């Protein structure tokens, strides 16, 4: 069951992920992040996603990414991050 | 001045044998990780994003060209500062000029006529080694290329050029970042070792190694197991042929050899000069500041700059001035000497100065002939310069062509300086580069001037194309009763009628003769009734030649008409090799062997069929029997199609029952096979379907009531109409089986077809084990086509399965009505004999081109199974049950 659902703004991806990290403790099971408005990510955001994945792993929270643009999906794939998330359209 | 101040010792790569420390590995991993992230992010950039970054980088490089050149000379102690400025400007401005309008993101090239596009995919992380000879220019060049193609680069500069290279990287990186490039896109290794290089070369996240360095680095790159670009050593020969513009040639060679003190590996090493102009050339060199060494001076020079153990140039001479080298060698030269010239008499270890010399020393050789000159150039090329560069000064196109053919060089420059010419974009239209690929001669993967396309993976998007199809038929077809009268409209001086004995006896030949225009010389050539052999065909050709025929009338069944077609071919084009023309092919339009178009004779071919029938009067096929090998050989080309076809039922009224049945089933088989062929089209379908309908209706009547004119006429037309269909859609596996079986066991073609037909319908209507590639059709539709046939015949059925079943049953019923044997066994062929023949039968059936348009690709095992089914035969009920189990 999805406990928390967050929409990520393209202009502040890294900050949004930091805020999401703070909510991880209160999540039971899954957290969904809506990236449908994100058209491009920069290295900062990429680093933030990796950190977020690390923390979610340690807390045993499954992270579901919603509405990920295929160009971004490719970026995640190239840096071996794609396998650490689940994806829904 | 002490030697070491003039020519400082080189820092050697430290040989470190212990493995990398954890700290070092962590550092290298960090670099790769950042580069990988940058390259990943870069994949999102558009062409506009990329071009917005490249231009400012180029401008920054131009702005810093002089400062970087000065840094390079100070650090490396090689070359000429002013020339390095030019190199830096070529590496920026000229490279930009080459790439600025080129697409490197998304669709980069389109080929609309081929329905093909090329799409760019970046490499990712590139590990780049840069040299000591062109340090900053190589860095500038590679940075610009990398950004243009959305790649990240980790640089490993030569240890003796680290400071200037890292400064160049820094300038490029800061500019790129400022204009939107992803962080981490460039990095420069600090004080690295061979172990660092080896680690990165093997790193799983490095996509490509671009090694512009010495042989050791290039070898390491190619040995790493990673895709690599490398360069090779040069030993550039320059041939001054006697027609050369000597003023230009000498100036260019001096310019080239002294450019950056000869450090560009494409610079000329040995000048091979025609005897006629040798002395004049040397005089011109001397006038422009070259010192011509005498024998003693040459020996001193060789000892000073070439390592006697290896035969290679000594590193301390690289990039030094001519006067410094002269001093080193103990030669006394004028202070403004810019080039040392050493005459040599050969190439190889016995002539040390024939080796590569990256400094202003040029060997010269006097050649007594063009042949000698070319051979010496080849010797120089092979003495350590394979694949690199060769130069010729000449105005003789023939000599230039010959030179180009014999030189193994990625760059063959005509009437231009070697070093600056090879760089590209200055004296010619080569892509500007600082990395010269030397191909396999130099142990590289390309002979190109490395450019942006080597930094891309090119993806080709190929759309399904709709191949042009065709519908080709004879010019004129005359049909119905007395259509033979139309022969009178064809004037001829000499007509040969090809026919068989029976038709002559029946008086059919006389009927034809009646309508040949008066004054025509007519000769009748009778061939045996059996299927045509080569011997028979050649006898016919003799007759055609003897009578100088301009018209051939083929009056007979398929055998006679096929024989006439081949006779015409050999008569018109005697050089035609029948064996060669029968070579197998998959696609008529792509076939290797082309039929002859040159004709020494010309004859009109009028085909009058006397069976209903092979349809040979309108087809582009001719079948020969190869008695020696027991098989049929098919010739297929539209040039074999008769010029005129006459379909006159009066010639078939007297066909005996057996022949009526055999040829009638041949007609039906043609129609059914062309209906489901993968080459079928709307043009052939209408003919095929009509012929099927006519055959089912009129063949039994023609069989039982041979004098029924309407039935005979309809069947005769049906045979021709079916032939129009299969001439363009071809046949299928039924014919392949029938050809093999018929030739081996001497069974008439129609009868052989009949034995296979119901089994083939069931086979084709069921889901294929193997689909045959068929660009003309979308999807597998044979079963639906058979169902359409069943509908056309009014056979009933609600589902496709039922309709196919009904069609098989109707076919079986027709075969029964026509008195056909229902199995091969009924022909008296024993099981053992059939089993013995099976391997050859399946082989010949598979070799037969007929099945290539079959809706199912027949496997050898399936061909065997079909043969066995035909051997055993089936009752109509059993066949219907089998179809029910198999059909889609």
Q: Does A74 touch chain B (CB under 8 A)?
A: yes
Q: Please answer yes or no on whether A71 and B43 come within 8 Å at the CB atom.
A: yes
Q: pTM above the 0.90 mark?
A: no
Q: Please answer yes or no on whether B43 and A40 come within 8 Å at the CB atom.
A: no
- DSSP strand pairing (B476-479 vs B125-130): unpaired
Q: Does A46 touch chain B (CB under 8 A)?
A: yes
Give CA separation, B487 vs B255, B556, B647, in Å: 82, 15, 12
For the CA atoms of B168, B171, B177, B178, what is the dihedral angle to 10 degrees? Answer: -160
CA distance B141 to B56: 14
User: Looking at chain A, which residue has its C-alpha nearest residue B181?
Assistant: A42
Q: Give residue A26's pLDDT band: very low, low, confident or very high (50, 70, 90).
A: confident
For the CA atoms of B797, B801, B805, B806, what is the dihedral angle to 10 degrees? Answer: 20
User: Looking at chain B, which residue has its C-alpha nearest residue A78?
Assistant: B40
Q: Please answer yes or no on whether A41 and B44 come within 8 Å at the CB atom.
A: yes
Shortest CA gap A28–chain B (Å):
31
- Give me the number of domains chain A comprises: 1
Residues B582, B633 contacting (CB under 8 angstroms): yes
Percent pLDDT > 90 in chain B is 83
pLDDT tens sequence across B130-161: 999 999 999 999 999 999 999 999 999 999 99
Question: What is the mean pLDDT of the segment spanning B160-171?
Answer: 97
Residues B152, B35 contacting (CB under 8 angstroms): yes
Name residue, tokens 């063949």. B699
pLDDT at B3: 24
Contacts of A72 in chain B (CB under 8 A): 44
CA distance A13 to A5: 15
CA distance B432 to B89: 11
Question: What is the mean pLDDT of the segment spanning B590-619?
Answer: 94
Q: Does A79 touch chain B (CB under 8 A)?
A: yes
Q: Does A75 touch chain B (CB under 8 A)?
A: yes
Q: Please answer yes or no on whether A78 and B183 come within 8 Å at the CB atom.
A: no
pLDDT of residue B885 exceeding 60, the answer is no
CA distance A52 to A76: 13
Q: Does A43 touch chain B (CB under 8 A)?
A: yes
pLDDT at B12: 37
pLDDT at B578: 87
Q: Does B543 touch chain A (CB under 8 A)?
A: no
Structure letter (DSSP) for residue B795: -
Q: Which CATH class is domain B653-888?
A: mainly alpha
Give CA separation, B791 vs B448, B469, B800, B801, B836, in Å: 63, 27, 10, 12, 41
pLDDT tens sequence across B177-203: 999 999 999 999 987 788 999 999 999
ipTM, 2 dp? 0.80
CA distance B188 to B195: 16
Which of B40, B182, B184 is the closest to A78 by Cβ? Answer: B40
Half-sphere CA count of B152, side-chain side, radius 13 A: 29
Contacts of B38 in chain A (CB under 8 A): 43
CA distance A63 to A76: 14
Q: Does A13 touch chain B (CB under 8 A)?
A: no
Contacts of B37 in chain A (CB under 8 A): 43, 46-47, 79
Write down the architecture of domain B466-586+596-651 according to CATH. 3-Layer(aba) Sandwich (3.40)
Shortest CA gap B36–chain A (Å):
7
Question: What is the mean pLDDT of the segment spanning B226-248?
Answer: 94
CA distance B110 to B116: 6
Contacts of A40 in chain B (CB under 8 A): 44
CA distance B665 to B58: 78
Shortest CA gap B37–chain A (Å):
6
Shortest CA gap B44–chain A (Å):
6
pLDDT at B585: 81
Domain that holds residue A46: 2-88
User: Looking at chain A, which residue has its C-alpha nearest residue B45?
Assistant: A40
CA distance B567 to B562: 9
Q: Please answer yes or no on whether B41 and A41 come within 8 Å at the CB atom.
A: yes
Contacts of A44 in chain B (CB under 8 A): 183
Q: Give residue B788's pLDDT band: very low, low, confident or very high (50, 70, 90).
A: very high
For the CA atoms of B655, B658, B661, B665, what is the dihedral angle to 10 degrees? Answer: -110
Closest CA to B90 of B141, B20, B56: B141
Q: Please answer yes or no on whether A71 and B39 come within 8 Å at the CB atom.
A: no
Question: What is the mean pLDDT of the segment spanning B771-790?
Answer: 90
Q: Does B37 touch chain A (CB under 8 A)?
A: yes
pLDDT at B187: 97
Q: Does B38 touch chain A (CB under 8 A)?
A: yes
| Chain CA centroid to CA B296, Å | 56
Q: Please answer yes or no on whether A43 and B36 come within 8 Å at the CB atom.
A: no
Which of A40, A47, A79 is the closest to B44 by Cβ? Answer: A40
CA distance B781 to B678: 9
Contacts of A75 in chain B (CB under 8 A): 40-41, 43-44
Q: Does A42 touch chain B (CB under 8 A)?
A: yes
Q: Please answer yes or no on whether A46 and B124 come within 8 Å at the CB atom.
A: no
Percent pLDDT > 70 in chain B is 96
pLDDT at B129: 94
Name residue, tokens 């610009």. B144
| Residue B5: exposure state from Cβ atoms within 10 A (0-12, 13-18, ≥19) | exposed
pLDDT at A1: 52
Q: Mark out the alpha helices in B765-874 (DSSP H runs).
A: 782-792, 800-817, 831-847, 860-872
pLDDT of residue B838 exceeding 80, the answer is yes
Among B40, B176, B205, the strongest candidate for a mutation testing the A interface, having the largest count of A CBs within 10 A, is B40
Shortest CA gap A10–chain B (Å):
14
Q: Please answer yes or no on whether A78 and B182 come within 8 Å at the CB atom.
A: no
Give the contacts of B202 (CB within 8 A, at least 6 positions apart): B224, B225, B226
pLDDT at B14: 39
What's the sign of the alpha-carbon dihedral B623, B624, B625, B630? Answer: negative
CA distance B27 to B198: 14
Which contacts (CB < 8 Å, 24+ apart) does range B341-347 have?
A: B341/B282, B341/B285, B341/B290, B341/B291, B341/B292, B341/B293, B342/B293, B342/B297, B342/B298, B342/B301, B342/B302, B343/B292, B343/B293, B343/B298, B344/B270, B344/B298, B347/B270, B347/B376, B347/B379, B347/B380, B347/B383
pLDDT at B584: 79
Give CA separation, B434 vs A74, B78, B517, in Å: 33, 17, 80
What's the sign of the alpha-carbon dihedral B577, B579, B585, B587? Answer: positive
Q: Please answer yes or no on whether B182 and A72 come within 8 Å at the CB atom.
A: no
Contacts of B39 in chain A (CB under 8 A): 78
pLDDT at B5: 28
Q: Among residues 22-41 of chain A, which lie with CB inside 8 Å of chain B?
A: 40-41
CA distance B150 to B47: 9
| Chain CA centroid to CA B372, Å | 37
Which range has the worst mean pLDDT, B317-326, B421-430, B535-544?
B535-544
Shortest CA gap A71–chain B (Å):
6
Write down the architecture of domain B22-230 according to CATH. 3-Layer(aba) Sandwich (3.40)
CA distance B283 to B287: 6
pLDDT tens sequence across A37-89: 999 999 999 999 999 999 999 999 999 999 998 889 889 988 999 999 999 87
User: Looking at chain A, which residue has its C-alpha nearest residue B34?
Assistant: A43
Closest CA to B361 of B263, B441, B448, B295: B263
Beta partners for residue B524, in sequence order:
B497
Q: Give residue B474's pLDDT band: very low, low, confident or very high (50, 70, 90).
A: very high
User: Looking at chain B, which residue has its C-alpha nearest residue A50?
Assistant: B37
The CATH number of the domain covering residues in B236-431? 3.40.309.10
CA distance B242 to B399: 10
Can you read off the two tokens belonging to residue B309? 């153990």
Q: Please answer yes or no on whether A75 and B184 come within 8 Å at the CB atom.
A: no
pLDDT at B630: 67
pLDDT at B443: 86
Q: Please answer yes or no on whether B41 and A75 come within 8 Å at the CB atom.
A: yes
Q: Give residue B632's pLDDT band: very low, low, confident or very high (50, 70, 90).
A: low
Question: What is the mean pLDDT of the segment spanning B514-537?
Answer: 87
In 10 A of CB B877, how many CB atoms? 10
Closest CA to B474 of B660, B607, B340: B607
What's the sign of the alpha-carbon dihedral B849, B852, B855, B856? Answer: positive
How big is the A-B interface in CB pairs under 8 Å? 36
pLDDT tens sequence across B633-648: 779 999 999 999 999 9
Better pLDDT: B526 or B393: B393
Residues B396, B243 contacting (CB under 8 angstroms): yes
Q: Please answer yes or no on whether B38 and A71 come within 8 Å at the CB atom.
A: no
Q: Give residue B8's pLDDT band: very low, low, confident or very high (50, 70, 90).
A: very low
> Residue A71 belongs to a domain with what CATH number?
3.30.750.24
Question: What is the mean pLDDT of the segment spanning B591-613?
Answer: 94
Mean pLDDT, chain B, whole residue set: 92
pLDDT of residue B888 exceeding 70, the answer is no
Residue B538's SS3 state is helix
Residue B158 φ/ψ, nearest 5 degrees: -60, 135
Q: Does B569 touch chain A (CB under 8 A)?
A: no
pLDDT at B530: 63
CA distance B319 to B78: 5
Contacts of A47 in chain B (CB under 8 A): 37
In 10 A of CB B791, how many CB atoms? 15
Instruction: Write down the domain spans for chain B.
Output: 22-230, 236-431, 466-586+596-651, 653-888
Which of A40, A46, A72 is the closest to B37 by Cβ? Answer: A46
pLDDT tens sequence across B685-696: 999 999 999 999
Question: What is the mean pLDDT of the segment spanning A17-25?
Answer: 90
Residue B793 φ/ψ, nearest 5 degrees: -85, 0
CA distance B136 to B130: 9
In 10 A of CB A39, how many CB atoms? 11
**Which residues of B does the annotation mark as catalytic?**
265
Q: Give residue B595's pLDDT band: very low, low, confident or very high (50, 70, 90).
A: very high
Which of A40, A43, A72 is the closest to B37 by Cβ? Answer: A43
Closest CA to B516 of B604, B610, B609: B604
Better pLDDT: B538 or B3: B538
Give the contacts of B722 (CB within 8 A, at least 6 positions apart): B615, B667, B668, B670, B671, B674, B687, B688, B691, B692, B695
Q: Ramachandran region of residue B2, left (φ > 0), alpha (ψ -120 to 50) or beta? A: beta
- ∠ at Cα B217 (B215, B223), nearest 5°? 100
CA distance B91 to B79: 17
Contacts of A79 in chain B (CB under 8 A): 36-37, 40
Give the contacts of B699 (CB within 8 A, at least 6 positions apart): B660, B661, B664, B665, B667, B668, B715, B718, B814, B818
pLDDT at B149: 98
pLDDT of residue B773 exceeding 90, the answer is no
What's the sign of the alpha-carbon dihedral B133, B135, B138, B142? Answer: positive
Among A10, A14, A41, A42, the strongest candidate for a mutation testing the B interface, having the largest count of B CBs within 10 A, is A42
């Amino acid at each position: 069951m999805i406990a928390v659902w967050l929409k990520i703004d393209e202009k502040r991806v890294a900050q949004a992920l930091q805020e999401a990290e703070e909510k991880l403790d209160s999540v039971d099971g899954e957290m969904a992040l809506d990236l449908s408005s994100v058209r491009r990510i920069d290295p900062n955001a990429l680093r933030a996603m990796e950190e977020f994945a690390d923390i979610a792993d340690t807390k045993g929270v499954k992270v579901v990414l919603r509405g990920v643009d295929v160009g971004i999906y490719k970026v995640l794939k190239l840096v071996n991050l794609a396998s650490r998330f689940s994806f829904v359209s | 001045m002490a030697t070491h101040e003039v020519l400082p010792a080189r820092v050697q790569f430290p040989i470190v044998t212990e493995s990398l420390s954890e700290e070092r590995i962590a550092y290298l991993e960090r670099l790769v990780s950042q580069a990988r992230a940058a390259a990943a992010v870069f994949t999102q950039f558009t062409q506009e994003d990329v071009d917005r970054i490249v231009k400012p980088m180029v401008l920054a490089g131009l702005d810093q060209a002089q400062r970087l050149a000065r840094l390079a000379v100070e650090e490396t102690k090689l070359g000429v500062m002013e020339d390095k400025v030019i190199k830096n400007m070529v590496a920026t401005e000229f490279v930009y000029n080459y790439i600025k309008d080129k697409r490197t993101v998304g669709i980069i090239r389109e080929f609309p006529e081929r329905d093909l596009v090329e799409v760019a995919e970046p490499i990712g992380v590139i590990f780049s080694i840069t040299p000591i000879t062109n340090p900053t220019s190589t860095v500038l060049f590679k940075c610009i290329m990398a950004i243009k193609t959305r790649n990240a680069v980790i640089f490993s500069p030569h240890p003796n050029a680290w400071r200037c290279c890292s400064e160049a990287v820094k300038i490029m990186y800061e500019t790129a970042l400022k204009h939107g490039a992803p962080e981490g896109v460039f990095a420069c290794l600090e004080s690295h070792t061979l172990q660092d290089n080896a680690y990165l070369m093997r790193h799983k996240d490095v996509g490509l190694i671009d090694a512009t360095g010495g042989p050791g680095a290039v070898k390491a790159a190619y040995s790493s197991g990673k895709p690599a670009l490398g360069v090779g050593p040069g030993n550039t020969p320059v041939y001054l042929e006697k027609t050369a513009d000597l003023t230009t040639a000498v100036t260019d060679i001096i310019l080239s050899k002294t450019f950056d003190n000869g450090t560009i590996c494409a610079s000329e090493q040995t000048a091979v000069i025609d005897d006629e102009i040798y002395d004049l050339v040397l005089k011109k060199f001397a006038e422009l500041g070259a010192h011509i060494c005498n024998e003693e001076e040459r020996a001193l020079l060789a000892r000073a700059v070439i390592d006697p153990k290896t035969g290679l140039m000594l590193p301390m001479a690289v990039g030094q001035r001519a006067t410094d080298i002269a001093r080193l060698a103990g030669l006394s030269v004028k202070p403004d000497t810019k080039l040392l010239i050493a005459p040599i008499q050969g190439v190889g270890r016995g002539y040390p100065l024939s080796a590569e010399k990256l400094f202003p020393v040029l060997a010269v050789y006097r050649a007594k002939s063009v042949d000698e000159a070319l051979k010496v150039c080849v010797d120089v090329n092979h003495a350590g310069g394979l694949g690199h560069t060769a130069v010729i000064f000449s105005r003789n196109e023939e000599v230039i062509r010959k030179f180009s053919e014999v030189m193994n060089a990625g760059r063959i420059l005509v009437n231009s300086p070697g070093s600056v010419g090879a760089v590209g974009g200055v004296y010619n239209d080569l892509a500007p580069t600082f990395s010269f690929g030397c191909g396999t001669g130099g142990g590289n993967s390309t002979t190109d001037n490395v450019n942006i396309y080597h930094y891309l993976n090119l993806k080709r998007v190929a759309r399904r194309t709709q191949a042009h199809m065709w519908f080709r038929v004879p010019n004129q077809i005359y049909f119905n009763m007395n259509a033979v009268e139309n022969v009178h409209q064809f004037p001829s001086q000499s007509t040969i009628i090809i026919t068989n004995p029976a038709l002559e006896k029946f008086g059919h030949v006389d009927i034809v003769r009646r309508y040949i225009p008066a004054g025509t010389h007519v000769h009748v050539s009778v061939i045996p009734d059996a299927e045509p052999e080569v011997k028979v065909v050649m006898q016919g050709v003799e007759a055609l030649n003897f009578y100088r025929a301009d018209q051939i009338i083929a009056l007979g069944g398929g055998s006679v008409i096929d024989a006439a077609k081949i006779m015409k071919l050999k008569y018109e084009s005697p050089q035609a090799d029948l064996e060669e023309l029968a070579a197998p092919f998959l696609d008529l339009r792509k076939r290797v062997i082309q039929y002859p178009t040159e004709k020494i004779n010309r004859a009109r071919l009028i085909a009058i069929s006397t069976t209903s029938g092979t349809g040979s009067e309108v087809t582009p096929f001719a079948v020969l029997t190869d008695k020696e090998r027991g098989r049929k050989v098919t010739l297929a080309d539209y040039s074999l199609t008769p010029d005129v076809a006459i379909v006159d039922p009066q010639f078939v009224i007297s066909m005996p029952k057996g022949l009526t049945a055999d040829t009638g089933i041949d007609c039906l088989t043609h129609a059914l096979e062309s209906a489901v062929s993968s080459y079928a089209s709307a043009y052939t379908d209408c003919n095929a379907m009509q012929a099927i309908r006519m055959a089912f209706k009129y063949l039994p009547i023609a069989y039982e009531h041979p004098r029924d004119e309407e039935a005979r006429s309809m069947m005769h037309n049906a045979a021709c109409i079916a032939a129009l269909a299969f001439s363009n859609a071809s046949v299928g596996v039924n014919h392949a089986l029938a050809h093999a079986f018929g030739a081996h066991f001497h069974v008439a073609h129609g009868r052989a077809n009949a034995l296979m037909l119901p089994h083939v319908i069931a086979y084709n209507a069921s889901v294929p084990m193997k689909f045959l590639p068929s660009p003309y059709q979308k999807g597998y539709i044979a079963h639906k086509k058979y169902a359409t046939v069943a509908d056309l015949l009014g056979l009933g059925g609600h589902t496709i399965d039922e309709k196919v079943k009904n069609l098989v049953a109707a076919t079986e019923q027709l075969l029964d009505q026509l008195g056909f044997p229902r199995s091969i066994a009924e022909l008296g062929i024993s099981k053992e004999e059939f089993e013995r023949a099976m391997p050859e039968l399946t082989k010949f059936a598979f070799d037969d081109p007929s099945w290539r348009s079959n809706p199912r690709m027949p496997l050898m095992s399936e061909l065997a199974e079909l043969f066995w089914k035909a051997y055993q035969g089936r009752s109509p009920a059993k066949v219907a049950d089998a179809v029910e189990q198999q059909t889609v």
